[in-house]
Amino acid sequence: MSSTSMSSATTGPHDQGRRLILVVVALGLALLFVGSIIYRLQNPSLTMQARTSQSTMAMNEIADMMARLDNEPNHLPTLMALGDQFMRLGSWERAAVFWRRSLAVDPTEDRAMNGLGVAYYNMDQYSESAEQFERIVDINPDNYRAHFNLGMLNKYYLDNPEQGRFHFERVLEIGPQDEVLVERVTEELASPAPGGGVPE
């Protein structure tokens, strides 16, 4: 009998063994998959491990910087780095402490004013936030980000949409290369102020 005349319906003992192996392997893979899902549901902390290690690293860096401040309490770069670290952690009150200390060392440090303004904003202290951004534009009238922040604060939080409009227009006068920000400012100028006021 030639090999071409062999029927595909005929199965030998080897074919049955292969099928059995395939079924066992497929069943094993399915059990592994189900077991993995059950394990992850019972151990959700595994998914939090990366976030925890980042926080641990940040806390170690903070501890190192605090130790540096023990030796030199007015070291401006360290004070500002601590402000940045606490901002990244969302610890606005602590960040504000280090931004204020930075400004006590150098009252003209606009990065510290910006950090303090952002911290105040996140603590819902909008007037204090606006004061910091006003200080920035007093020092640097072309700081378009401070003008943008003042526009947003005045329009949405300080009930002063005319002042907000002034700052948005100032951003466009400065003409930053930040296309996303320019588009956002244009949208803000075109949208009504809260309370139904129509922009001019």
pLDDT in tens, 86-95: 999 999 999 9
Long-range contacts of 110-115, Cβ-Cβ distance < 8 Å, separation of 24 or more: 110/135, 110/136, 110/139, 110/140, 110/143, 110/146, 111/80, 112/79, 112/80, 112/83, 114/145, 114/146, 115/80, 115/83, 115/84, 115/87
Provide the pLDDT for residue 47: 43
Q: Is 58 among the domain residues?
A: no
Nearest to 148 by CA among 123, 128, 173, 124: 173
Q: Is 19 among the domain residues?
A: yes
pLDDT at 42 over 70: no
Provide the pLDDT for residue 23: 81
Q: Is 24 among the domain residues?
A: yes
Q: Mean pLDDT, to the nearest integer, of 180-193?
A: 95
Q: Is 21 among the domain residues?
A: yes
Provide the pLDDT for residue 164: 97
The string of DSSP letters for 6-49 reads --TT---HHHHHHHHHHHHHHHHHHHHHHHHHHHHHH-THHHHH
Structure confidence by residue, pLDDT tens digits, 107-165: 999 999 999 999 999 999 999 999 999 999 999 999 999 999 999 999 999 999 999 99
This prediction's pTM: 0.70
CA 62 to chain CA centroid, nearest Å = 19
Domain extent for 26: 14-43
**Cα(27)–Cα(19) distance, rounded to whole angstroms?**
12
**Structural domain count, the chain:** 1
Q: Is 20 among the domain residues?
A: yes
Please, which pLDDT band fits residue 73 given cuts at 50, 70 and 90?
very high
Provide the pLDDT for residue 96: 98
Provide the pLDDT for residue 27: 79
Provide the pLDDT for residue 4: 44
Long-range contacts of 40-45, Cβ-Cβ distance < 8 Å, separation of 24 or more: none
Where is pLDDT greater, at 13 or 149?
A: 149
Q: Is 39 among the domain residues?
A: yes
Q: Is 27 among the domain residues?
A: yes
Residues facing residue 197 across a β-bridge: 193
Structure confidence by residue, pLDDT tens digits, 98-107: 999 999 999 9
Least confident of 2-6, 33-37, 190-194: 2-6
Q: Is 112 among the domain residues?
A: no
The string of DSSP letters for 85-130 reads HHHHTT-HHHHHHHHHHHHHH-TT-HHHHHHHHHHHHHTT-HHHHH
